[in-house]
Amino acid sequence: MKNHEIDYVLHGDDMQFVEVELDPQETVVAEAGSLMMMEDQIQMETVFGDGSANQGSGLMGKLLGAGKRLITGESLFMTTFTNNGMGKRKVYFASPYPGKIIPMNLSELDGKIICQKDAFLAAAKGVSVGVEFQKKLGTGFFGGEGFIMQKLEGDGMAFVHAGGTIYERKLQPGETLRIDTGCLVAMTQDVNYNIEMVSGIKTALFGGEGLFFATLSGPGTVWVQSLPFSRLASRVFAAAPISQGGGGKDAGEGGIGGLFDLFNK
C-alpha cells in the first residue's frame, strides 16, 4: 500500500465523529476545522493541497495541487496529524452538521470515488483529493454540484460526510436511478452520471422538486443522502422570524435582528 494504514471507530448516531488510531509516524490528513480533539504527541501541520505524492514535487507541483482545491471551493490548505510518540495515539474528527460519516476503503473501490465537493472529511496520508470534471455541459450547468466534483484516489481509508441518513445502492449493469441533484453524495468511477430535465411543464414549474435530477446508470455503487445541507439551511431560514425595521421591540422576539441587539447590549 502507498497510503498509511489507519484504524478507526465511528461514534454517535446523528452527530457522528470518527476516532482514528495512529501507529508511530502514521499520518491522517483532514479538512481545516474538522478536528474535535487529539491525544498528546500528535503533531499538527498545515500543508498545501492534500500532501500526497500525486500533487507533484517542488513548489510548483504543490501550488498546482493546492490550486485544484480552490476550483472546488475549498481552502488552499489542509491539516496533517502525525503520531510522533512511541505508542498508539488517537485523533478525533467531527461531522460539521447532522448526518453520517461514511468510511470508504479505496482499495476495495478500484482506487477512486467521485463525491460532492464538500463531502470529504479526512483520509489516510497518501490519498489524493483532486478535481473531477464532468464532461457534459448539462451536468455542469444543472448538476446541483456544479461542473466540478471531487475525486478521492489511492488505496487507503477515506471518510466522507453527508446529511441525514445515508443509503448505499449497488446498481446492476444497465440499471438506472434518478436522484435529486443535491442528494447525491458519492459514486464509484464506473457509474455513468448525467442530468435529465423533469418532464411536463406543470411538474417542472409546480412540483417543488426542481427542474433537473441526476440520472445514474450502472454498474457501480452510489451513496445518497436524505438531507442535503442546502435543503436544511433553506428550511431553517424560511422558518426563522424576520424582524421589521431591523430593531425595536419586534426584533427581540426571536428574529435574527433581535439576536444582534442582544449582543450589542
Q: What is the pLDDT along the chain (265 residues), one digit of tens a residue?
A: 577 888 999 999 888 999 999 999 999 999 888 999 999 999 999 887 656 655 555 555 555 555 555 555 555 678 999 999 999 999 999 988 888 999 999 999 999 999 987 889 999 998 988 887 655 545 445 544 445 688 899 999 999 999 988 999 999 999 999 888 788 899 999 998 887 766 654 444 544 444 667 889 989 999 999 988 777 777 777 787 765 554 444 444 444 455 445 445 5
Query: What is the pLDDT at residue 96?
Result: 84
Question: What residues make up the domain containing 32?
Answer: 7-238
Residue 249 lies in a domain: no
Closest listed residue to residue 191, CA positions, set 217, 165, 212, 170: 217
Does residue 253 form part of some domain? no
Under 8 Å between Cβ of 39 and 11:
no
Q: Please check whether residue 122 lies inside any domain of the structure.
A: yes
> What is the chain's Cα-based Rg?
21
What's the pTM value of the predicted model, to 2 decimals?
Answer: 0.76
Asked if 157 contacts 6 with a C-beta cutoff of 8 angstroms, the reply is yes
Closest by CA position to 8, among listed 160, 151, 172: 160
CATH label of the domain that carries residue 111: 3.60.160.10
> Is the bond preceding residue 24 a cis peptide, omega within 30 degrees?
no
Residue 247 placed within a domain: no
Residues near 194 by beta carbon (within 8 Å), at least 6 away in sequence: 136, 138, 139, 214, 215, 216, 217
The structural domain count of the chain equals 1
